Structure 1
């Protein structure tokens, strides 16, 4: 028996829909159904009444659900206790975050938190959007930090996670100072034939989806972009822009220092503005004392 099977059952009870629950668990519906079936085979009886819509738990399913909730909490508590034994006197927090957030948001955020909750050691796993959510879903980390936007993927709205916005981080279009005048003129041109070099995010990543919205907003003004470089990490985008490869969108937290030093300039253009939320996520079943303290103090994030 695997702990994730019990967490699948908990999610299915919350949504009463296999498809929605599978999306919340970041797996395909067939894979989710197989895991529920594996749990039923292990218990030895049917846990889900599939003849109704929405689906509901059988009496046996209700019994397993209640025990599963307690077991999941006990297992995560056991993990926390073992980690504390491994590092005596030091609280350890495991975090999964987007690369840009891990580099440019989390250090100041952690420093602000420690002034309220005391010192702790962070085990940071920097990854992409969906891997962060999967790590939290599967219990590989206690907290996740991601971007969220109303026009972005809706997965953060599922019942599996609790989320809290800790700051705003707008996407800003930037270039080097030497290219500023040329690019500003092209971005505001009415000639309808501007084609501009874009240091671009990969289409499959979260910021790539946000970038697509922004580039489409320029198409109506006859401005098109051609990619000169693609990557999913903001730091790679930043370095290529600094090298003069073209313009590109960066979270303000990533670009702020370069803008203040004059290494980069913000292009005003006439695009819509996307203000991303930096959100902190946890699972209700994973509530160590440290996580609970951090959750209560998570509104102490520093401003941009």
Structure 2
């Protein structure tokens, strides 16, 4: 095994510095609190690793060879950088431990989360906050990988997700409803596309990665598949003409008259008031959903535990 392949023990580097400072094997070994024979073996092992002698043992006191003098400042720089790396890593860990890390679905990060967070901050000093916005499936991944402390998403009691199956603690912190909506017809406030029309209804659907899509496929099995269900029958059926996992994108497509989309009321309240979108079906087509906050199962930082206790006290109502 050549010198470059030998394992290196960091203790040897500290031994080298002690001997370079004292020039005496006995005093250096004493300073390092090890027996002199073991200390001498460490110095020899380091020289074997480097591939050259670092000390002139014939001199009294022991002196650095030209190779040793070149090695010394470089080694001091390496050890200083290692110590700096250790300090910075610990500082980064402390900052992360003191911060709150949320994953929120796209739609809730744009609508519900800022308002809810403001209510929490009025009651609790939170400190640094990190938020990641993604699809429901990606948010679940972040929780399962322990990269976030909390996940904010929509849910339904009869449609369990992966976090439910893994028994992650959850609070319902508000509620919402998916409404079938369409752009208005050119000649009035009636929907351009409506559930129950004679022709097939063009539907703007959620993708597989969307939690809202998972809920819709479960609650509307009789509409979007051949599986019998209690959902109302459609004379002309439906035709899925567009698919995405962003509710905001489906909202834009609905406003452009491309079809009917089931969108969270929290997302389209302004559009419903202004008439930019109109409800495209009766109440039997509405899908009630919950706004949920999931947490890690293990104990979290004190500020995260305090937030969870606050949401427990306010579960079921918006802070």
* TM-score, scaled relative to structure 2: 0.60
Please give the alpha-carbon distance, in whole angstroms, between the structure 1 residues aligned to 2:91 and 2:140: 20
SS in 2 for 1:235: helix
How big is the shift at 1:155?
3.0
Pick from 70, 90, 94 the counterpart of residue 82 of structure 1: 94
SS in 2 for 1:209: helix
Alignment size in residue pairs:
218
Residue in structure 1 matched with residue 60 of structure 2 by the alignment: none
Is residue 2:288 matched to residue 1:284?
A: no
Pick from 181, 194, 202 the counterpart of residue 190 of structure 2: 181
Pairwise mapping of residues 96-245 of structure 1 onto structure 2 (< 5 A)? 96-158=103-165, 160-178=167-185, 181=190, 183=192, 186-188=194-196, 193-212=198-217, 213-214=219-220, 215-216=223-224, 220-245=233-258
Please give the alpha-carbon distance, in whole angstroms, between the structure 1 residues aligned to 2:179 and 2:116: 21
How big is the shift at 1:156?
3.5
Please give the alpha-carbon distance, in whole angstroms, between the structure 2 residues aligned to 1:79 and 1:208: 41
CA contact 1:80–1:288 (8 Å) conserved in 2: no
Report Cα offsets for 1:203-237 as digits up to 9, x if no partner: 45322222333335656243422122210110110
Moved more, 219-228 or 170-179: 219-228
SS in 2 for 1:194: coil
Moved more, 241-250 or 262-271: 262-271
1:292–1:240 distance in 2 versus 1, CA, 3 Å: same
Residue in structure 2 matched with residue 9 of structure 1 by the alignment: none
1:93–1:182 distance in 2 versus 1, CA, 3 Å: closer
1:232–1:133 distance in 2 versus 1, CA, 3 Å: same
How big is the shift at 1:140?
0.5
CA contact 1:187–1:194 (8 Å) conserved in 2: no
How big is the shift at 1:118?
2.1
How big is the shift at 1:251?
1.0
Unaligned runs of 5+ in 1: 1-77, 86-90
CA contact 2:179–2:285 (8 Å) conserved in 1: no
**RMSD of the alignment, in Å?**
2.9
Task: Determine which structure has greater relative contact order: mean sequence separation of CA pairs < 8 Å that are 6+ residues apart, divided by chain length.
Answer: 1
How big is the shift at 1:161?
1.1
SS in 1 for 2:300: coil
1:132–1:203 distance in 2 versus 1, CA, 3 Å: closer
Pairwise mapping of residues 36-55 of structure 1 onto structure 2 (< 5 A)? none
Moved more, 243-252 or 171-180: 171-180
1:303–1:291 distance in 2 versus 1, CA, 3 Å: closer
1:162–1:136 distance in 2 versus 1, CA, 3 Å: same
CA contact 1:188–1:269 (8 Å) conserved in 2: no
* TM-score, scaled relative to structure 1: 0.63
Unaligned runs of 5+ in 2: 1-89, 225-229
CA contact 2:190–2:278 (8 Å) conserved in 1: no
* Larger of the two Rg values belongs to structure: 2
